[in-house]
Amino acid sequence: MKLTWKLAASACVVAAALSGCERQEEAAAGGEVEVLHWWTSGGEAASVAELKKMLEEKGDTWKDFAVAGGGGETAMTVLKSRVVSGNPPTAAQVKGPGIQEWAREGVLANIDSVAQAGNWDGLLPGVVSSVMKYEGNYVAVPVNVHRVNWMWANPAVFEKAGASIPTTWAEFQTAADKIQKAGLIAVAHGGQPWQDSTLFESIALGVGGASWYQKAFVELDQVALNSSTMIEAFDTLRMVQKYIDKDAANRDWNLATAMVINGDAAMQFMGDWAKGEFTAAGKVPGTDYVCMPAPGTAGSFTFNIDSFIMFEQKDESAITAQAHLAEAIMDPKFQEIFNLNKGSIPVRLGMDLAKFDQCAKDSSAEFSSSSQEKKLVPSWAHEMAMPPANKGAMFDVVTAFMNTPGMSSKDAAAGMASAGKI
C-alpha cells in the first residue's frame, strides 16, 4: 500500500463517524480495469505487461482480457458479444474509424477531463487526436504509431544464397529466385486474411504509390479501385506468392517472424510489431536483421495507430481507475518503455528517442517527412482507412485471390471495387 493511501485510511479510522470516509477509502484502494486486447505474442505480451505494472503502481487491479489472434478479428467478435450482453470491459483495443462506430452506439465514456489535464491536444499530432474524438470529445486514447510497410530481412540467409536485399519488386524476384534455388524459404508468411491483406497493402503501395493508394483505399474511388494499377498490384501478389512455403496456411504472424529470426526464411512483410519479436529474442537491428521499407515504398508510410476506447462506467472506483488507465497510456515513461518493447514509436510528440534503435529512428523521421510530402497514408489492413465493413469485404477478395490459383487479377480488381461500394 502506498504511503498516501495509508494516511487516507488511518484518517478514516480516526474520523470513522464522518460521512464520505468510506468512499474515500474505496477510491484510495483503487479500482479494477478490465482491458480487452489481442497482444499475446512474445513482444506484445512484454509490452502490455508494462501497462499492467503502471496501473498496479497506481493501486488499481488489472483484469486481463486477452483474446489471441493477430490483427484482432477474434477480439472484435468477442467485444461485440460482451457489449451486446450489457457487460463491456473498461477499455478495448479499437482503432481508426471503428472508434467512431462504437461512439455512435452511445456506449463510450467522455474522457475530456483527463485529456485536458494532460494537454493531449498539444501533445498529439492533429491526425491522431481527431480520430480519438467523437463530436469533439475524447473517447479513446492512442498508444503508439506502427509503420506497416516494412520488410524484415535476415542478411545471413541472403548471403548464403548470394542474393541482395531488394528495394524494388523486380529485384525482389531476382533475390527470391536465388534464395529458393539455395533450398531456403524466401518469404515467411501466414495464410490468414489479415496477413494476406497486410502483404497486399505493401505491394499495392509499392506498385501504385501513395496518391493512388489514398484514392483507392481511403477515398474508395471506383476508378482507382478498378484500375490497371490494381491489376498490376494483384499480378505482383501472384508473383510474390510463389515464394511462400507450402506450410503457410493459418500460420500465426509471430511464427513467420520466428522463421526469419532463426534463419529458416529470408524475409517477412509485416508491420513493426514484428520488431517486438526480434527484440524479445535478443536480436539487434543492423547485425542480426535488417529493417527496410517494403520494395518500392521508401519515403511512404502506412500508419497503424493502436488505441483503446473507453466504455462508460457506473461505479465511482471504476471511473477513477479508467482515468488512471488513460493517464498511464499517455505518460512519457509508458510511451517509452511500451514502444521499446512493441516495435512502434511513441504517439506523444516531443519524446526523446535516445533509447530507440535505428529502425524506430527511421520510422519517426519518415513519419514526419512522409507527412510533408503527402506520402503518409493510413493502413487499411489495420483498420485505419475505411469502415470495418469495406475492410472486411476487401479482406475476402484478397484472401480469395490468394487461395484460388485460377482467379484473375482483373476479377480481383473488380472485386475490390465492389468491396469499396458497400
User: Rule CB under 6 A: which residues touch ligand GAL?
Assistant: 38-39, 44, 70-72, 146, 253, 273, 304, 306, 382
Task: Please state the closest distance from residue 76 (CB atom) to ligand GAL, in A.
Answer: 11
120 or 273, CB closer to ligand GAL? Answer: 273
Task: Please state the closest distance from residue 70 (CB atom) to ligand GAL, in A.
Answer: 4
30 or 142, CB closer to ligand GAL? Answer: 142
Give the E-state strand segments of 228-313 in sequence order: 265-269, 290-293, 301-304, 307-310
59 or 71, CB closer to ligand GAL? Answer: 71
Q: Supply angle C-alpha 186, 192, 196, rounded to 5.
A: 60
Task: Please state the closest distance from residue 276 (CB atom) to ligand GAL, in A.
Answer: 8
Task: Please state the closest distance from residue 390 (CB atom) to ligand GAL, in A.
Answer: 17
Task: Please state the closest distance from residue 348 (CB atom) to ligand GAL, in A.
Answer: 17
8 Å CB contact between 409 and 234: yes
Q: Supply angle C-alpha 129, 134, 139, rounded to 5.
A: 75
Task: Please state the closest distance from residue 275 (CB atom) to ligand GAL, in A.
Answer: 11
Task: Please state the closest distance from residue 73 (CB atom) to ligand GAL, in A.
Answer: 9
Alpha helices in 242-353 (DSSP H): 253-261, 273-280, 316-330, 332-342
- Pairing of the two strands 150-153 and 61-66: unpaired
206 or 276, CB closer to ligand GAL? Answer: 276
CA gap 356, 364 in Å, rounded: 10
74 or 404, CB closer to ligand GAL? Answer: 74
Please report the DSSP string for 40-80 in residue order: -SHHHHHHHHHHHHHHHHTT-EEEEEE---GGGHHHHHHHH
Task: Please state the closest distance from residue 6 (CB atom) to ligand GAL, in A.
Answer: 38
8 Å CB contact between 261 and 278: yes
38 or 120, CB closer to ligand GAL? Answer: 38
**Helix, strand or coil for residue 21?**
helix
Cβ neighbours of residue 417 under 8 Å, at least 6 residues apart? 222, 225, 226
Question: If you search the block for the grid coordinates 470513522, which residue do you land on?
Answer: 16
70 or 415, CB closer to ligand GAL? Answer: 70
71 or 346, CB closer to ligand GAL? Answer: 71
Q: Which amino acid does the sequence have at 100?
A: Q
227 or 257, CB closer to ligand GAL? Answer: 257
Handedness of CA 85, 133, 332, 277 (dihedral sign): positive
72 or 296, CB closer to ligand GAL? Answer: 72
8 Å CB contact between 80 and 105: no
CA gap 261, 309 in Å, rounded: 34
Alpha helices in 331-385 (DSSP H): 332-342, 358-372
- Pairing of the two strands 91-93 and 307-310: antiparallel
Q: Which residue number places its CB atom closest to ligand GAL?
A: 70
Task: Please state the closest distance from residue 274 (CB atom) to ligand GAL, in A.
Answer: 9
Task: Please state the closest distance from residue 33 (CB atom) to ligand GAL, in A.
Answer: 19
